[in-house]
Amino acid sequence: MNLKLLLSIGLSSILLFGCNEMGKPAAKTALVTEKDNYSYALGASFGQQARALLIQRDSIDLDYAVFMQAFTERFEQDSAKLLMTDSALFAVLNDFSMKRQQEKVQKDSLAAEKNLQEQKAFLEKNKTEGGVITTASGLQYLVIIEGKGDLPKETDIVSVHYTGTLLDGTEFDSSIKRGAPAEFPLNAVIPGWTELLKVMKVGSKVKAWIPSDLAYGPRGRQVIPGNSLLVFEMELLGVKASEQAAAPAAAPAKPATVKKPAAAKPAPAPAAAPAAAQ
């Protein structure tokens, strides 16, 4: 039995067996029969997932009594009680979906603009800190350990340990926590990483601040909001020629190449994206 069917059965159990009056839960204080157990288990499963999807993630404000009334009427196919035709139902849901999408676009746009202003202010101040190097592109880094090995070429495969956070300290990726270094072609990652690693000798460890125009731009990626300044602690463990490389592991993916200004870059290709924090 698939999950969708289980959830549907779980909700119908709540509605048909768990309520004496519309919107009012039955006074069930103990689970006695097998039917009690599976009815409760299915209902609990549905409730947890519905809350996560509809309330916590999307902040949808539901009138639970109306919601359950509509479900029951449709489940029982009681057409005499229906308050909305099929065509009206689909029109309402479509309109609701469009409004939610517009709200999300507007919210993301405002957040991206806020992130852009915050990163500009931070980088302006950070470049005056002792030991911080600022390149022509705007990349900033601080050398923690100066390595003594080779400098990688753009066509090489590099092995790197790193931890990535947002400006507020939120961690979004860590090869250290995954227990294995990332291995990838140097020219296949975000521009900020390519530029940084080309000046790191094997054995080097740095802290870097990568502006959004050298990372994921105004659209962001997965758990990385638009116009996010990325902060990395990174150690270059090894370098080898590309013909010796195995399949690359997870690393910040290089944005897709497009003929547009840098500020309008789309989200990068998903082939080698940072592992999202769980």
What backbone torsions phi and psi does residue 229 show, to the nearest 5 degrees?
-75, 130
Catalytic option among 46, 141, 162, 184: 162
Give catalytic status of residue 232 as yes or no: yes
CA 234 vs. chain centroid, Å, equals: 22
Q: Which of 14, 157, 190, 224 is catalytic?
A: 190
Q: Which of 46, 141, 172, 184 is catalytic?
A: 172
Is 173 marked active-site? yes
Annotated active-site residue 14? The verdict is no
Of the residues 46, 141, 216, 224, only one is catalytic, namely 216
First and final C-alpha spacing in the chain: 27
**Contact, 253 vs 164, CB < 8 A?**
no
Dihedral class, residue 220 (left if φ above 0, else alpha if ψ from -120 to 50, else beta): left
Residue 190 among the catalytic residues: yes
* Per annotation, catalytic residue among 14, 156, 173, 184: 173
- Active site (annotated) includes residue 122: no
Element (H, E) at 104: helix 86-126
Say which of 46, 141, 184, 232 is annotated catalytic: 232
- Among this protein's residues, is 71 annotated catalytic? no
CB atoms within 10 A of CB 270: 10
Element (H, E) at 134: strand 132-134
Q: Tell me which residues are annotated as active site.
A: 162, 172-173, 190, 216, 232
